Amino acid sequence: MGSYNYYKMFGYFNRKFEMKDNGPPSDVIQAFSAYTGDASQMSADQLLRFLVEFQGEVGSTLSMAQDLMHQVLQRRNHLNKYTRNDLSLDDFYYFLFQDDLNPPISLQVHHDMTAPLQHYFIYTGHNSYLTGNQLSSDCSEIPIINALERGVRGIELDLWPNSAKDKVHVLHGRTLTTPVRLDKCFQSIRQYAFVKSPYPVIVTLEDHLTPSLREMVAEMAIQIFGELLYYPEPGVFDALPSPDALKHQIVLSTKPPKEYLDSIKPAKESLEIKDEAEIDQGNNSNQDGDEAVNDNTGFQKSNSDTDDEERGSDSHRSSKQLGQGFKRSNAIHSAALKVEPPNDLAEGCSIDTDLSSQLGESDEHAGLTKNSEDSSLDNCNQNHFGPADELGKDPSLNIQISVQVEESDECTENHNVENSKSSPLGTPEYQRLLAFQTTDVKDAEDLDVSTNRSKTGTLEQKRLASLLHGYEWDDEDEADEDEDVNKTQMKPSRYKRLIAIHAEKPKYGLMKTILAENDKVKRVSLSEQELAKGAELYGTDIVRFTQKNLVRVYPKGTRVTSSNFEPLTGWMVGAQMVAFNMQGYGTSLWLMHGMFRGNGGCGYVKKPEILMKKAPHEVFDPRASLPEKKTLKVKLYLGDGWRLDFSHTHFDAYSPPDFYTKIYIVGAPADFAKTRTKIIEDDWSPSWDEEFVFPLKVPELALLRIEVREYDISDRDDFGGQTCLPVSELRPGIRAVPLYDKKGGKYRSVKLLMRFQFE
């Protein structure tokens, strides 16, 4: 007699269902007979022929076949030593249904790992420290550990100063997320970086720190990562190393600090206002750049490679007024500045450099120099300096200004402020300026305060700038600035020397960035909207750009629940680092898991040759109509294992489950397809025995997605497992396909028996 499952009806009656034990499918029986010559046992030689001819495993050897046979017999008979040297039909069927012995894709690294990093898709996380949503979840090192154990190779950390600005926290800025210490994150990365894969871990740092805190980060990285930390050679920015060359190395990637950028581009300067509360007079915050830069100005708030969702809404920003007429305009086009106090008050006190057009000749600055007949300090025209009676009283006015000049931008200040009775020219700040005689500013380096490379008088210039704009210099800020300047002047920044992959944001538009001629390799960060729009308008140009540079794509800021976007959007144009919320479970994340099951699950998948062709008429165009290249045949025989992993009432309280399977092809738009099997009622071991045919135009980028559901006539169908596999990695023949839960965890027993064929 067979075994039965019993289900209670209405609390009184039992329903009895026989538990079927399906034997081998007819295709398995036929294959066994064909290779044994209708005998009852299969030898090692016959198994080898089956592996090579039927399964397409051309690299198999007799010793490999013997080893497989030995493992099967040991498992089936539970003996340490088993002397039989052949397989029965049941043994053969058992072997085919073991996903570790007969997997659908290779479990070993088999791609060429000696090409530069930009030739690979890289398993990349987004906000890797978050345990849940983007607004209020806890920050922890646990999600980082989980990601590394899954094989993720790209970890993202957002670095922010604590309230005292003496320590570094990791958190999602301008949200309610609770911070985690940076050292805990670094220690977790070191401990788990190479548990799953020996290939490099790229740590992306979203930097919102001061120079002194950056040095603290550098010291922490050196001490914790030790010999695992990769130190880039001077020429590494011309071509990135290969994954093979970077085995067991931790690679840092971020936007270089401003002091480094200015050191390699001394002629390039900008005007920066540093303050925790950004001064905003109706200008919209920048939603596209790495820095919080006003779209119409060169004003910067932070030196960070920040995702657009981190900038948040204007509710996180202060809009304190500096005076009724204060406006921020474009940066000065020239590399010089001339400022003169009223003649009768400060004769000989000036900072004099060349201007393409002098400030006094501009309508906006008419009256900056005082008429000689107005000799009284009390009658000094306050219009040009702001209300002096507020100086030193309102803490919101205690800000720092660093004056830089950018080659291609222009900056002017409109000082039309209400008249006031007093003038800042009588303050101690101005008296100290009187002792500061003429200083010639010959190049950008002399004016550059924010780079901490300023020469004698730089802080005084900064004071003068604050005075001219109606702000009061803060002595506490001066002390901090002195500390940072002295520290950086004493020794070169270690932080910038640790940056192996330089990052940037396309400030002047994606098109200009990807078409710009540049010998240096860089990483460009794009939001999912930017990439989707760019791929639609100039996909081939992005493909060409990614042949040399890295492109990182991150979820849009409105995905507060940590959901994810369609990853094929990035992969179709060659974007290497499609950054995902690893806690945002769903179909998109299943596709991400599926792509990186390829190449042995090492976290690096070699980009297909179609994305690396450089000839003008050969560059891959994701929008082009392409001919059919290959046909995939998928046959689904049966499934099993649910009764071992689930309670007998999990799917239905009154009967065994009614399973069916949905099958999708996801990839190029022309390749998308979906189908489903029939429903097998009241059976824990459903046998479908159905075949499906999928013509493919871009099989190199296609994914096979499989999802099992339990049919429910009165409610939503229950989830019964899923998997996703790269079509290019599928091994032909009859294979055991393991299924995974919604979070991507592998079930212990649930799997499908399938056959794959290519024509």
Residues 567-624 have pLDDT tens digits of: 999 999 999 999 999 999 999 999 999 999 999 999 999 999 999 999 988 999 988 8
8 A C-beta contact, residue 481 and residue 463: no
Can you count the helices (H) and strands (E) in the chain? 19, 29
Which of the four pLDDT bands, split at 50, 70 and 90, describes residue 236?
low
pLDDT over threshold 50, residue 5: yes
Instruction: Look at residue 233 in the predicted model and tell me its pLDDT.
Output: 80
8 A C-beta contact, residue 364 and residue 330: no
- Per-residue DSSP letters for 48-71? HHIIIIIS--TT--HHHHHHHHHH
pLDDT over threshold 50, residue 333: no
Handedness of CA 58, 735, 81, 42 (dihedral sign): negative
Of 362-366, 520-524, 661-665, 732-736, the poorest mean pLDDT is in 362-366
Instruction: Look at residue 24 in the predicted model and tell me its pLDDT.
Output: 95
Instruction: Look at residue 273 in the predicted model and tell me its pLDDT.
Output: 37
8 A C-beta contact, residue 702 and residue 68: no
Residue partners of 105: CB distance under 8 A and separation at least 6: 597, 598, 725, 726, 729, 730, 731
Report residue 384 as tokens: 């040009």
Q: Give the residue, 138 or 444, on which the prediction is more confident.
A: 138
Residue partners of 41: CB distance under 8 A and separation at least 6: 86, 87, 88
Three-state secondary structure call for residue 124: strand
Instruction: Look at residue 492 in the predicted model and tell me its pLDDT.
Output: 54
Strand partners, 180: 170
pLDDT over threshold 80, residue 418: no
Q: What is the mean pLDDT of the chain?
A: 77
Of 111, 126, 169, 384, the active-site residue reads: 126
Which of the four pLDDT bands, split at 50, 70 and 90, describes residue 259?
low
Residues 460-481 have pLDDT tens digits of: 444 444 333 333 333 333 334 4
pLDDT over threshold 60, residue 147: yes
Rounded to whole angstroms, the Cα distance separating 695 from 699 reads: 9
Q: Across 460-548, where does the E strand assignment appear? A: 499-504, 523-527
Q: What is the mean pLDDT of residues 369-397?
A: 42
Rounded to whole angstroms, the Cα distance separating 60 from 549 reads: 38
Instruction: Look at residue 238 in the predicted model and tell me its pLDDT.
Output: 76
Q: Which residue has the tokens 């999912």?
A: 528
Count of residues for the chain?
A: 759
Buried b (16+ CB within 10 A) or exposed e, 272-284: bbbbeebbbeebe
Count Cβ atoms below 10 Å from residue 573 Cβ, excluding itself: 26
Instruction: Look at residue 264 in the predicted model and tell me its pLDDT.
Output: 52
pLDDT over threshold 70, residue 336: no
Name the helix (H) or strand (E) containing 485: helix 475-490
Q: What is the mean pLDDT of residues 98-115?
A: 98
Instruction: Look at residue 83 in the predicted model and tell me its pLDDT.
Output: 66
pTM of the complete model = 0.72
Residues 479-534 have pLDDT tens digits of: 344 445 444 444 557 898 999 999 988 878 888 888 887 788 999 999 999 999 99
pLDDT over threshold 70, residue 559: yes
Instruction: Look at residue 688 in the predicted model and tell me its pLDDT.
Output: 98
Of 70-84, 137-151, 337-351, 691-705, the poorest mean pLDDT is in 337-351
Long-range contacts of 390-396 (CB under 8 A, 24+ apart): 391/424, 391/427, 391/470, 391/471, 391/472, 392/472, 394/320, 396/277, 396/318, 396/320
Report residue 554 as tokens: 């991150």
Q: Which residue has the tokens 């006094």?
A: 360
pLDDT over threshold 60, residue 313: no
Tell me the Ramachandran region of residue 392: left when phi exceeds 0, alpha when psi lies from -120 to 50, beta otherwise.
left
Q: Give the residue, 273 or 631, on which the prediction is more confident.
A: 631
| % pLDDT > 90, the chain | 58
Q: What is the mean pLDDT of residues 9-28?
A: 79
The CA-atom distances, in angstroms, between 741 and each of 33, 645, 751 are 36, 11, 12
pLDDT over threshold 60, residue 384: no
Instruction: Look at residue 511 in the predicted model and tell me its pLDDT.
Output: 86
Which of the four pLDDT bands, split at 50, 70 and 90, describes residue 262?
low
Instruction: Look at residue 19 in the predicted model and tell me its pLDDT.
Output: 73
Of 172, 415, 469, 593, the active-site residue reads: 172
Q: What is the mean pLDDT of residues 40-46?
A: 97
Domains and CATH numbers, the chain: 26-96 (1.10.238.10), 117-257+496-607 (3.20.20.190), 266-280+292-489 (no CATH), 624-758 (2.60.40.150)
Instruction: Look at residue 6 in the predicted model and tell me its pLDDT.
Output: 67
- Per-residue DSSP letters for 250-278? EEEEEPPPHHHHHHH-TT----EEE-SS-
Which of the four pLDDT bands, split at 50, 70 and 90, describes residue 755?
very high
Of 62-71, 97-106, 440-449, 603-612, the poorest mean pLDDT is in 440-449
Report residue 12 as tokens: 């009184």
172 is catalytic: yes
Residues 654-666 have pLDDT tens digits of: 889 999 999 999 9
Residue partners of 200: CB distance under 8 A and separation at least 6: 117, 153, 230, 243, 246, 247, 248, 249, 250, 251
Rounded to whole angstroms, the Cα distance separating 700 from 705 reads: 15
Name the helix (H) or strand (E) containing 582: none
What is the phi/psi pair of residue 243, to 5°? -60, -35
Report residue 450 as tokens: 């924010």
Q: What is the mean pLDDT of residues 547-576?
A: 96
Of 205-209, 324-328, 404-408, 459-463, the poorest mean pLDDT is in 324-328
pLDDT over threshold 60, residue 352: no
The CA-atom distances, in angstroms, between 509 and each of 514, 534, 576 are 9, 10, 20
